[in-house]
A and B are shown apart, each in its own frame.
Chain A
Amino acid sequence: MRFSKIFLFLGLFLTTAGLAAQVVGKATKGAFLLKNATIETVTKGTVKGDLLIQDGKITGIGTSVNAPADAKVIDCTGKFVYPGFIDGGTNLGLVEVSSVSLTDDASEIGDIKPFLSSLTAVNPSATAIPVTRVSGVTTVLTKPTGGLIPGTASLINLVGYSPTEMYAGYQAMQMNFPSSGARGRWDRRSEEDRKKDEDKKLKEINDLWAETKLFASISAAKAKDPSIRQTYNPTLEAMAPVVDGSMALMIEVDRDKDILSALKWIKENKVNAVLSGCAEGWRVAKEIAEAKVPVITGPVISIPTRQSDRYDQSYTNPGILAKAGVQVAIRSNNTENVRDLPFHAGFAAAYGMGRQAALEAITIVPARIMGLEKELGSLEVGKTANLFICDGDPMETKTQIEQVFIQGWEIPMNSRHSLLYDEFLERSPGVKN
């Protein structure tokens, strides 16, 4: 009797605690007909008409879409539909509060740690995930940081309750390319010491490459002859797909000289490479274009890398790269404010890139770089239903993002930020009652 009362009390307590905790609500799946919209396909121009979502895919676009009777109809008169934005570089899901180290799962100890996978540490309940997706960013590459080789980055859709559910089909090994540049104002190393450090790191990479090749050849021999002994080596095992080119290597590099040195190294080792960061890409845009290595650059809204640079150099960087013929995607390189991605693209658009190229840089271009152009990055029949409805140009801050769909799930348009707004706009009780 007494126990049951306690349990009843406990049960009540848990229920109220559950209600008090910030939850954003459930996503729902089904057939959705977005009626009478202006559809910005990105790859096939602007279409006036309907868009049908079924089983997580886009199954119809145009003026003669046949929707099943049970499809939920959403009137989009005067509204726009865009493909979900893709951020090619974030720490979303890995870091909750950056200054609280125990909530940071992005930066592991060690220098060469290719055996680490970001996907394993993605927290599907990270508060920043709903905050991000209601802005129309539906898919992000989330990456480990720190050291020469931080581990593998993973592309995730911002819906789901497990990393596996969220996984969007692309992983890339991360590398922070050796640099002889100063790391910041606090970097007191002499120019000579910095050069020595750079050479040492380059040697480490080259040794790793050679060892991995040897390891891979032993693995191949072992496959034929099981009597061959091979000791456990997680580093070389993880590097094998990178060295044989089946996994992309994403090389974080910013300084002009380092970019050139990276391009030379990529060529010599025939690496399946993507450059990321590239803050000084504009200085060597021609060389990057000639090397045909794609670039994921950003943040665009940031200050120039040198005091002598023109004030808007970080804004013009993506446009200069694109005009030189480089395949350019834009990233936020952020955690809690990945939602700024369309604004980074907007600044790039205003400062020389043009709106269409900037829009592509956060949709179809990152999809292409990741080999997912058949599934993501534009509104086309057969593609994954990652998209959103808005009342204007989504790069404009004034525009309201009204409804987001990710993998066909109708996403609750709530986040901590909007829930606090709902609670506190007119606080009750206030001061006088």
Chain B
Amino acid sequence: MKRYLHLLTLLLASLALGAQTPTGSVHIKNGTVLTITNGVLTEADVVVENGKITGVGKSLRTPAGAKVIDATGQFVMPGIIDAHSHIALDAVNEATNPVTAEVWTGDVLDPFDISIYRALAGGVTAAHAMHGSANAIGGQCETIKLRYGTYNPEDLKMQGAPRTIKFALGENPMRVHGEGNRILPRTRMGVEHVFRQAFSEAKDYMAAQESYQKKKASDPTAVAPKYDYRMETLADILRGEIIIHCHSYRADEILMLLEVCKDFGIKRLVFQHTNEGFKVAPELAEFGAMASVFADWWAYKFEVYYSTAYNAAILTRNGVVTSINSDSEDYIRHLYHQAGKTQRYGQLTDDEALRLITLNPAIQLGIDARVGSLEKGKDGDIAIFSAHPLSIYAVPQMTIVDGIVRFDIKADDNDMRLSVDPEKTEDMMLEYAVEHRCMEGVEGHAAHHH
């Protein structure tokens, strides 16, 4: 009996452990540490215990059981964060309605996606797994940690990260719904109307809920209004519980959404792509809206024709919290290089450039208390490079998530797929031709529309 009890305890303990995020302990020794928030420390250590950073400084003590990593001559930085990604997703666009706030990418996470590993091999530890840009109000998104190796989609989720939702302005929703389905929006006027209508309906929904709650106290026969998850989600946006991440390009449409948000009291707003954000940087700064941009993509469609690779620099200099994102299973692997381009185009300092891929995307995702810099108490998400990560010659050496080494250039196999079908011969595919997934799942449209 006692033996069974022991077994039961063990079983329960393992179940409990299974539900938790796996964590580890490492002691990174003698590297050049780019803390982001506290300058550059030479010949310094970073210690992670059970997934959390417990020390950043010189000659630290190795905790019991920690893996020791010699970083002599190497550069240690916080794990890179991609504020706009579509990796690790089975589906991207629910392109059936201009408003689909009820769907959620957290329901379609794919832990087998090789892109997760490839992103790790580029120093990335967290990503924003976003819904696509087919709808003015798209689906909710999931902030993930790149815990490649797990078979359980739940393990990818960064528990406790704020909820986010994808919005989209301009050509994509106009093409899909206006041109494709012959319904509003076909113009930027229509796009604005979608937002105003959706939020107005959500306010009505909230009022109905509220009056029911009041009525219920005195009248047990009161009938609850019909539950509507789309409206619930929109209501949560109005309550400030969900951060809007809005696909956008042109300055006029950016200003439009700022006005809509002002009118509905919405404050948590991040613009994605934001190619013409530089034109309205003062307005963005005044509102407190943030911008997540490409380093240099332009001219692939008309609404990005009047772009500049100096966008991130102009936004930064105007006080807008800015990040560089990938929106690509290729670019996510070299965001450190993309950030470096802000030094070619606008001469940002090393610290400013590195913030674009660490602390700033963390702020935009509402996770900056936990990741984005090397500080005591933060998650043990770390990337180690052979040279300064902004140098073209830098090669990522090791990537650590929650204190667990998930990429190691010296130890990893060439083929890192988690699942291999022995019946199927793997054929070559020029994947760079089909890498862009923002418009994936939209019938009849080439994928190359970010």
Find out whether the CB atom of B417 lies under 8 angstroms from the CB atom of A97. Answer: no
Cβ of B432 under 8 Å from chain A: yes
Which of the residues A254, A397, A432 comes within 8 Å of B390, measured between beta carbons?
A397
List residues of chain A with CB within 8 A of the CB of B308: 416-418, 420-421, 424
> Considering the chains assembled together, what is the distance between the CA atoms of A303 and B326 in angstroms?
13
Given contacts A100-B301, A418-B310, contact A182 B281 (CB under 8 A): no
B414 to chain A, nearest CB (A): 4
Question: Looking at the complex, which one of B282, B302, B435 makes contact with A431 (CB distance below 8 Å)?
Answer: B282
Segment from A55-63, A216-224, A343-351, A368-376 that makes contact with B: A343-351
**CB-contact partner of A98 in B117, B278, B414, B448, under 8 A:** B448
28 residue pairs from A and B, CB less than 8 Å apart:
A98-B301, A98-B448, A99-B300, A99-B302, A182-B428, A182-B429, A186-B434, A254-B428, A299-B432, A303-B333, A303-B432, A305-B430, A309-B415, A310-B415, A312-B121, A343-B337, A346-B393, A350-B393, A397-B341, A398-B340, A398-B344, A398-B391, A417-B310, A420-B306, A420-B310, A421-B278, A421-B313, A424-B278
Q: Is the CB of B427 within 8 A of A181?
A: yes
Q: Is the CB of A417 within 8 A of B343?
A: no
Indicate if B347 sits at the interface (CB-CB under 8 A).
yes
Residue of A nearest to B296 (CB): A337
CB distance from B371 to the nearest CB of A (A): 23
Residues of chain B within 8 A of A340, CB atoms compared: 296
Q: Is A307 a contact of B417 with CB atoms below 8 Å?
A: yes
Contact call A305/B343, Cβ cutoff below 8 A: no
A139 on interface, CB distance cutoff 8 Å: no
Enumerate chain A interface residues (CB-CB to B < 8 A): 96-100, 127-128, 181-186, 254-256, 279-280, 299, 301-312, 335-337, 339-340, 343, 346-347, 349-351, 355, 393, 395-400, 416-418, 420-421, 424-425, 427, 430-432
Contacts of B117 in A (CB 8 A): 311
Query: CA A143 – CA B204 in complex, angstroms?
Result: 57
For the complex formed, measure the closest distance between the CB of A82 and the CB atoms of chain B, giving whole angstroms: 15
A400 partner, pick from B329, B347, B415, B420, beta carbons under 8 A:
B347
Of all chain A residues, the one with the shortest Cβ separation from B440 is: A185
Chain A residues with CB under 8 Å of B266's CB are none
Q: What sequence of 0s and 1s flags, for each residue 420-437 of chain B, a beta carbon within 8 Å of any chain A beta carbon? A: 100000111111111100
3 tightest A-B CB contacts, nearest first: A346-B392, A397-B340, A421-B310
Given A98-B301, A99-B300, also A305-B428 (CB < 8 A): yes
- CA–CA, A420 and B281, complex, Å: 13
Given known pairs A182-B427, A185-B434, A420-B306, the reply for A301 and B416 (CB within 8 Å) is: no
| Contact of B432 with A302 in the complex, beta carbons under 8 Å | yes
Q: A184-B429, A185-B434, A424-B278 are in contact. Are A303 and B395 (CB under 8 A)?
A: no
| Assembly CA distance A433 to B423 (angstroms) | 68
Residues A128 and B299 in contact, CB atoms below 8 Å apart: yes
| Contact in complex: B428, A255 (CB < 8 Å) | yes
C-alpha gap A409/B67 in the complex (Å): 59
Identify which of A186, A335, A355, A425 gathers the most chain B CB atoms within 10 Å of its CB: A425
Interface residues of B in 335-350 (CB under 8 A from A): 337, 340-341, 343-347
**Is B391 a contact of A396 with CB atoms below 8 Å?**
yes
Interface size range of chain B in the complex:
35 or more
User: Contacts of B446 on A, CB cut-off 8 Å?
Assistant: 99
- Interface residues in B320-358 by Cβ distance below 8 A to A read 329-330, 333-334, 337, 340-341, 343-347
**A279-B430 in contact given A397-B343, A400-B347, A421-B346 (Cβ < 8 Å):** yes
* B118 near A97: Cβ-Cβ < 8 Å: no
Is B449 an interface residue when CB atoms closer than 8 A count as contact?
yes
Residues of chain B lying within 8 A (CB to CB) of residue A395: 392
Task: Verify B448–A424 contact, CB threshold 8 A.
Answer: no
Q: Report if B394 contacts A (CB, 8 A).
A: yes
Give B346's nearest chain A residue, CB to CB: A421
CA distance A346 to B283 in the complex (A): 38
Decide yes or no whether B219 CB sits under 8 A from chain A: no
CB of B381 to closest CB in A, whole Å: 19
Q: Is the CB of B395 within 8 A of A98?
A: no
A430–B302 contact, CB under 8 A?
A: no
Q: Is B305 an interface residue (CB 8 A)?
A: yes
A182 to B429, CA, bound (A): 6
Closest to A397 in B: B340
Are B428 and A181 within 8 A (Cβ)?
Answer: yes
CB contacts (< 8 Å) of A128 on chain B: these are 299
Contacts of A309 in B (CB 8 A): 414-415
Q: How far is the CB of A136 from chain B (nearest CB, A)?
A: 11
Decide if B108 is an interface residue (CB 8 Å cutoff).
no
Q: Is the CB of B301 within 8 A of A99?
A: yes
Q: What chain A residues lie within 8 Å of B297 (beta carbons)? A: 337
A304 to B283 CA separation, bound complex (whole angstroms): 41
**In whole angstroms, how far apart are the Cα atoms of A329 and B391 in the complex?**
22
Docked-complex contact A99 and B283, CB < 8 angstroms = no
Q: CA A395 – CA B426 in complex, angstroms? A: 35
A184, B433: Cα distance in complex, Å: 8
Asked if A425 meets B317 with Cβ closer than 8 Å, knowing A100-B302, A303-B432, the reply is: yes
A331 to nearest B CB, angstroms? 13
